[in-house]
Amino acid sequence: MNVVASAIPDVLVIEPRVFEDDRGFFLESYQQERYLRAGVPPVTVQDNHSGSRRGVLRGLHYQVREPQGKLVSAVVGEVFDVAVDLRRSSATFGRWAGVVLSARRHNQVWVPPGFAHGFLVLTDWAEVVYKVTAPYRPDLERTLAWNDPRVGVAWPATDAAGPVLSAKDARGLTLDQAELFD
């Protein structure tokens, strides 16, 4: 597999080795020893799978006190996946990294604990799967505003109405208001 640092060195883009022939393809979507060598800790606590239509923006989510690291893949369609560094002590605090995840390319992104995470669906339909390092705790979940001007994520254009958001995501807090990590 090929591992590349994103705009934030802790956020890794992973391109697994894909074996293709006239029958289709095969890849190892996770192999603990290899991922550990690449800097990704064990991520087998919980698997999540979501499906969304074009223009849906999910996030930017994070979990305080029991932060989750996430290994994220698009298994159908394409999404623009974003990680925002919420670690005050980090040299990249408040910065974001984005990557297009594609079922066709089979690429992945590692989002470490201490980051907010979200994605925007770029195709008519997309399904995203991700492994996490800590169980989901709704009482600890927080949402960073997807459009916080201080963070300045350069989301791809959607239709004139803008992205489709859940009520929770529409109420996300700005970096100045959000509960952060040390």
Please work out, in degrees rounded to the nearest 5, the angle formed at the alpha carbon of residue 84 by the alpha carbons of 13 and 88.
120
User: Out of 30, 35, 62, 130, which one is annotated catalytic?
Assistant: 130
**Consecutive H or E run containing 46:** strand 46-53
The answer to whether the beta carbons of residues 79 and 22 sit under 8 Å apart is: no
- 130 catalytic residue (yes or no): yes
N-term to C-term CA, the chain: 32
Q: Give me the sign of the Cα torsion angle 90, 79, 76, 52.
A: positive
- 61 catalytic residue (yes or no): yes
User: Out of 35, 61, 62, 106, which one is annotated catalytic?
Assistant: 61
Residues with a catalytic annotation lie at 61, 130
